[in-house]
Amino acid sequence: MWPFKKRTPTGFSTLVIPKAALEQARAQQVLEGIQQVIKDFASVVQQQDSTMAFYDVSALPHPKELIASSLVASIKLAEGRGEMSYVAATRVMLEALVQYQDGVGKRPALLLPSTEGLSAEETARVAVAHSDEGGQERWARFSGMAASDRRRYALRLTD
């Protein structure tokens, strides 16, 4: 039965744990870490309308690459187990991650600002002002970055 004590040549006792048990414990720790990263990211996504705006990576709870790696690893593990509903949900989260880009800054890059409750004339004014402020250019720049992320993530999922 392990762990058990073993006497060393110097007379001290050491704790001996079989290699397989150590590897299993490490794998469990890694899996728990992946799950925590995904949980933290999910909390951020729930607070923001990430499909209609680009946000700065500084809003993420962990480095973007760590989140991406965690999501990809989780998708691959779930595919191996046949957990296709989990795979689908996690792919949605991977898609949400592309909405976080370097250089966005504190002000999200919006496709169009909210025009809810505005008349057609007011809506047109808001759209023109948004264009004049460089909103469409910002959106286009971050859309290109997001497309690049999508391609990279798709390649990682097929590795």
Q: Say what the pLDDT of residue 20 is.
A: 78
Q: What is the mean pLDDT of the chain?
A: 80
Candidates 115, 93, 102; CA nearest to 45 is 93
pLDDT in tens, 31-87: 888 999 999 999 999 888 656 788 999 999 999 999 999 999 999 999 988 999 999
Residue 37: Cβ within 10 Å count: 21
Strand-pairing partners, residue 40, are: none
Residues 133, 73: Cα–Cα separation, whole Å = 40
Q: Say what the pLDDT of residue 138 is.
A: 83
Q: What's the average model confidence in pLDDT over 133-150?
A: 85
Per-residue pLDDT for 154 more than 90?
yes
Q: Say what the pLDDT of residue 48 is.
A: 80
Distances (CA, A) of 112 to 17, 52, 60, 65, 127: 59, 8, 23, 28, 7
Residues 83, 53: Cα–Cα separation, whole Å = 30
Candidates 22, 23, 45, 42; CA nearest to 34 is 42
Lookup: tokens for 79: 């595919």
Per-residue pLDDT for 1 more than 60?
no
Phi, psi (degrees; rounded to nearest 5) at 51: -85, -15
- Cα distance from N-terminal residue to C-terminal residue, the chain: 40
Per-residue pLDDT for 11 more than 80?
no
